[in-house]
Structures are given as structure tokens and as C-alpha cells.
Structure 1
Amino acid sequence: MSLCGKLEKDVPIRASASKFHEMFHKKPHHICNCSTDKIHGVELQEGEWGQVGSIICWKYFHEGKHKIAKEIVEHVDEENNSITFKVIEGDLTEHYKDFRFTIKCIPKEKGSVIHWVLEYEKLHDKIPDSHTLLQFCVDVSKDIDKQLSAN
């Protein structure tokens, strides 16, 4: 069993790619208003919203537990509506040596597709691949879409 893994999933949504990208890029602190049962808080700890190198702390509820992830904004591509977060502290570091979330928002004729990529390196081979976390990201995307499509 490999210690390195990569999971990907496309989520079709009604909202525009630019609006969805803006939510993660410039307004992640608003996500807790869209997905109240999953995201309980998002705080900027260092830097500015949307800037590479900024540090964000996510408080979330996953697999029946309250969890925290401190992440650094590693890469932003505004032209292609893409952003990458690297986990630097929190619950995920108990199982993973390295963990990254990349969100790419692809415009379509109607709505858009959100392409999630979770890349990670496990601390040992007994840790399962993070399919439940990928599904969590899909569910949060759908919650955000409901909010953005209602406006």
C-alpha cells in the first residue's frame, strides 16, 4: 500500500466559477454561513484573505467530531479560478505528513464544475485513503452552491 495518495472529484454546480472561487479565495469566513452543520468557523490568523502565504484556521465537524485545520494559502490562480491550501497544523497532521486541498472552478455554459483534488502522504500504511473527507468537500460545495444560486 502506498503512503502517497491523490483523490479527485468533480462537482457540477449552478453558480458561476468566479463566484465559487471568490468564496474560497476572498471570503472563506462566509462559508460557515452556507454550511453551518459542517463548517463552524474560519479565522484569518496571518496575512490577508486571498493572499499566498496567509494562514487560515478552519473549525469543522467531520466523522462525528469537532476538528481544526490550520492551512496556508499555497497557490492562487485567479485567471483559472484555482486555489491550493496546505495543511500545517490540526487534526489531519495526526495521520498525514503532508496534506493539500486544491479547488479549481471550471466555467460551463450553464453553471460550472468544481474540481477537488486532495493530495496527501500518510504517516503509515494503516491509515485509509480519505474518501470521507473528499465527500465532505463535495457536500460543502453543494451547500455553497445553494447559497450562491439563491442570490
Structure 2
Amino acid sequence: MAVSGAGTCKLETLEAEVEIKANADQLYKFISYQHHDVPKAASDKIHDVTVHEGDWVTSGSVKLWKYTIDGNVETYKEKAEIDEANNRVSLIALEGSHVLDNYKSFKVTYQIITPNSEGSSVKITLEYEKLNENDPPPQKFLSFAVTVIKDVDAHLLKE
């Protein structure tokens, strides 16, 4: 994991890469257009996802997630940006019960790295701007995103 940009309240990033065993195209479809199925794959973390504007498949649609992180139930209202050409899905925070307490902006991006001889992976990038210089980086949200992708991967292998 890499952290770039420290000091003043500017755009910073955290990244992780997760190896996956499921079919890369199937996983991309799941994280792009099947958000409603994520609670089935990670029910101990993600409790509900509902559409507030748009639909499940259109870039720009707005969804509300309800999840538990560090024992606390939180919400995350996001606008999805789907970039099929690059196998990338970004979830841009519009509102959040905790995530926006410390961050002026917050975006989670999942990108499927196409299969090679060593398999496929998902690159997870958090882009955020702290409200205060002393606020911690959102490491717990990156760890949470990594475990959700692992749960989705395991779920797809069972299907």
C-alpha cells in the first residue's frame, strides 16, 4: 500500500491490490452493475444498497449503502462512475454518516487489472482530501474495501 501527498489538506491517495480467483469479467460486472448483490456476498459488512437516483447500471446513478465498519453502522451515499473501457468503477461520496466527518472529498475506485499469466487482480484506490491536516488517512476504509472485494471474489467462485 502506498500513501502519497502528506501535509497540507490536498488530494491524497491510498492504494491496495487484491488478487482474485473469480473470472475478471464476472467480477467487473458484479462491481459495476450488480451493487444490489453485494450484501449477499458480504452480508456481515454490507447490509443494504438502494438506488436513490437513476438505476443499477447507468453511470451517474446515486446509491445509498448501509454497512458496518469497526462495529459501527454507517451510511455512504455515492454517485457511481462506470468506465467500461478501463474496467474501472468509482464511487464518489455525496454524503456519509462517518466518512465525510474527516474528509472534504472521498472517492473509492475499483479497477480490474486484466488477466495475465499470474491471474487477475483488483486495484483499489481511495482519493480523499482531509478536512484537517491532523486527520488520519482513511486506512480503515481501504482495509474494509479490500475485505469486501475478497468476499465478492469468494461469492463468485461459489456460483
TM-score by length of 1: 0.94
Query: What residue in structure 1 maps to residue 88 of structure 2?
Result: 82
Cα-to-partner distance string for 1:81-127 (whole Å, 9 max, x where unaligned): 11111100112122111000111011224641000000000111121
* CA deviation after TM superposition for structure 1 residue 2, in Å: 3.2
* CA deviation after TM superposition for structure 1 residue 19, in Å: 1.1
**Helix, strand or coil at the partner of 1:79:** helix
Query: What residue in structure 2 maps to residue 135 of structure 1?
Result: 143
* CA deviation after TM superposition for structure 1 residue 16, in Å: 1.9
* Residue of structure 2 aligned with 1:96, choices 85, 92, 103: 103
* 1:53 is aligned to 2:53: no
* Residue of structure 2 aligned with 1:15, choices 3, 17, 22: 22
**Helix, strand or coil at the partner of 1:108:** strand
* 1:38 is aligned to 2:45: yes
**Maintained 8 Å contact 1:15/1:111:** no
Gaps of 5+ in 2: 1-6
Matched AA of 2:95? E
Query: What residue in structure 1 maps to residue 4 of structure 2?
Result: none
The higher relative CO (CA closer than 8 Å, separation ≥ 6) is in 1
* 1:108 is aligned to 2:103: no
Query: What residue in structure 2 maps to residue 120 of structure 1?
Result: 128
- Aligned length, in residue pairs: 150
Query: What residue in structure 1 maps to residue 155 of structure 2?
Result: 147
TM-score by length of 2: 0.89
Classify 1:29/1:111 alpha carbon distance in 2 versus 1 (closer, same or farther; 3 Å).
Answer: farther
Query: Take 1:108 and 1:60, find their aligned partners in 2: how far apart are those partners?
Result: 30
C-alpha root-mean-square deviation of aligned residues, in Å? 1.3
Q: Percent identity?
A: 34
Query: Take 1:104 and 1:94, find their aligned partners in 2: how far apart are those partners?
Result: 26
Matched AA of 1:132? K
Matched AA of 1:39? I
Gaps of 5+ in 1: none
* CA deviation after TM superposition for structure 1 residue 6, in Å: 0.2
